[in-house]
Amino acid sequence: MLTVTNVSMRFSDRKLYDDVNLKFTPGNCYGIIGANGAGKSTFLKILEGRLAPTTGNVSMGPNERMSSLKQDHFAFDDQTVLNTVLQGHEHLYEVMTEKDALYAKADFSDADGIRAAELEGEFAEMDGWNAESDASQLLQSMGITEDRHQTLMKDFTESDKIKVLLAQACLANPTSYF
């Protein structure tokens, strides 16, 4: 469950909303409508925790995660399709990246070994060993064949980019989608 409590948002002297209180309950679908510039995208960023409200807070239940379909279709142009999807589970991707950087060091130290062991534990807890396979299966279910998974996003059509970004949003098995 996602709860919005007394959320207000202001930019300089412009008030987008004031004292918003909502409860998004499981099993329901919600829509946010409004004119351009009314604050819909800003509200979604607040729900995701990517933007702090001026006042109030947003809370989720324990063990819940949120995911959203990215609007910027060009944000991942320098990434492979598979890497783009893997970034949908942000924490797992951060662990993978840090772990890979440690193992690539020429002067791997004892401290690096300890940190790598910690990261390996986290990686295993998040089922990281299956992440690439899961991402590949998601892509294939959306019509992106395996031979295209190492293609750069910039080489994809807009419609295929949207499929990849949808797979990215689905990868982390979120409990809430936006």
**What does the pLDDT look like over 20-55, one tens digit per residue?**
999 988 878 788 888 888 888 889 889 888 899 999
Q: What is the pTM of this model?
A: 0.72
Dihedral angle computed from the Cα positions of residues 152, 154, 156 and 160, in that order, rounded to the nearest 10 degrees: 100
Of residues 70 and 76, more confidence is placed in 76
CB neighbour class for 126 (10 Å; exposed up to 12, middle 13-18, buried from 19): middle
Q: What is the pLDDT of residue 169?
A: 86
> CA 87 to CA 52: how far, in whole Å?
22
Q: What is the pLDDT of residue 1?
A: 82
> CA 100 to CA 96: how far, in whole Å?
6
* pLDDT at residue 154 is higher than 70: yes
**Are 87 and 79 spatial neighbours (Cβ–Cβ below 8 Å)?**
yes
> CA 32 to CA 57: how far, in whole Å?
18
> CA 52 to CA 54: how far, in whole Å?
7
Strand order in the sheet with 55-60: 14-24, 2-11, 55-60
Residue 114, both tokens: 């300890």
